[in-house]
Amino acid sequence: MNASHTNASSRDASFPDAPYSIEALQALARGQGFAGLRDKVVLITGAASGIGLAMAHAFSACGARLALLDVDGAALEAAAGRLRAAAPQVPILAQVAAVDEQPAVERAFEAVEQAWGRVDVLLNNAGISMNCPTLELSGEAWRKAVDVNLNGVFYCAQAAARRMVARGGGVILNMASMYGVVAAPERAAYCATKAAVAMLSKSLAIEWGPLGVRVNAIAPGYVRTALVDDLVARGRMDLDALARRTPSGRLGTPEEIAALGLFLASDHAAFINGHVALADGGWSAYSYI
């Protein structure tokens, strides 16, 4: 679920238009309400597509400086090109790095610090899906999910917080999932790691809050991305069934999750700390059969 589906006209009838397109998100970000994010140094992991790229568009429209990390070099280069075309005045530093490799994470943060002297906001977005019957789940696949979805979040949060504390504060947003709040079959590794991210976020918030660092988690539901479209095309996912199960009657968009990230990173959310913000169209609230 990591590539934006940004053209509303290309959505099928089962996916009603959502309130945020890329253009609407950029207009929101340019408003005076987010002027405090101008010139902030924002580091985004998993930035080449999907929610990460939508976040980059949002913070770019605010006038923030963007440090983009992704393991896919070609996709990252393409994403950086699109962002530069949309906002030529915004400084962008794009680096290929795997978040589950702690030395690579440290090198990436050092490069950002050398370029701009600080990291103000970390959007800990990188993650992988892991859908497999649990009786067939290999130890290698389990460890990979833990390495990327949990260890990678920890490595980046720690690297960011060390720098933020030294400068008096900052904001960390970790990407959890509604499947870290409610469970689903054949997703044991995904559910376990995303639940761990939610609790990690709370633990870090109460430890680092007194040091000026706010930590929150975002827990999206089903979001319409290129990966979802591919699963639909291959008959692995039923959009109509997902929409019927969601009280809001549709999937979310990367832009909607980015709008939430924009708010949580801003001074409007200055008293929000240790919160897991669900953005799932009501999925996790629904228990009636």
Which are the catalytic amino acids?
190
Q: Which residues pair with 252 in a beta bridge?
A: 223
How many angstroms separate the CA atoms of 3 and 227, rounded? 7
**213-220 sheet: strands from edge to edge:** 92-96, 65-70, 41-45, 121-124, 170-175, 213-220, 276-279
* Tokens standing for residue 127: 């993650």
Angle at 56 between CA 77 and CA 263, to 5 degrees: 170
Residue type (1 letter), 218: I
Q: Is residue 92 helix, strand or coil?
A: strand
Pull the structure tokens for residue 244.
Answer: 């019927």
Q: Residues for the chain: how many in total?
A: 289
> What are the E-state strand segments in 46-169?
65-70, 92-96, 121-124
Whose tokens are 């700390």? That residue is: 273
Q: Contact, 59 vs 288, CB < 8 A?
A: no
Q: Measure the CA–CA gap between 279 and 254, rounded to whole angstroms.
A: 11
DSSP for 100-115 reads T-HHHHHHHHHHHHHH
User: What is the CB neighbour count within 10 angstroms for residue 37?
Assistant: 22
Based on DSSP, count helices (H) and strands (E) in the chain, helices before strands: 10, 7
The answer to whether 67 and 163 are in contact (CB under 8 A) is no
Distance, CA of 248 to chain centre: 21
